[in-house]
Amino acid sequence: MFLDISGVHVERLQDISEADAHAEGMRAWRTTGRDGYDHDGETALEQFADRWSDLNSVRGYGWNTNSWVWVIEFATVYPC
C-alpha cells in the first residue's frame, strides 16, 4: 500500500468543516425521543471536537486551544 499525497497545508484546528470531520470518520446522528419526535444528536464536527479533546487535552492541546495543525490530503494506492 502507498499513499498518494494530493495536498498539504496548515490551518487552525477549529477551521475544520463538517465535511472534513466526516472525512475523518465522524458521523452525524439523530435520535427519537420518548415524545416520538426526532432530536438532533451531535454533528460530525461536534464529535470531532470531543474526540480531539479526549485525545489531546491531557497534553495541553484541547479543542479550545485552536492550535495550528497540518492537513495532509491523500488517497491510498494499492500496487497491482
Residue 2: φ, ψ to 5°:
-130, 165
- Do the beta carbons of residue 1 and residue 72 sit within 8 Å? no
- Do the beta carbons of residue 57 and residue 46 sit within 8 Å? no
Question: According to the model, what pLDDT value does residue 80 have?
Answer: 83
The torsion of the CA quartet 53, 57, 60, 61, rounded to 10 degrees, works out to -20
* 46: amino acid identity, one letter: E
Question: According to the model, what pLDDT value does residue 28 have?
Answer: 75
Question: According to the model, what pLDDT value does residue 67 have?
Answer: 97
pTM of the model: 0.78
Tens of pLDDT, residues 21-64: 999 998 876 666 666 655 566 888 999 999 999 999 999 999 99
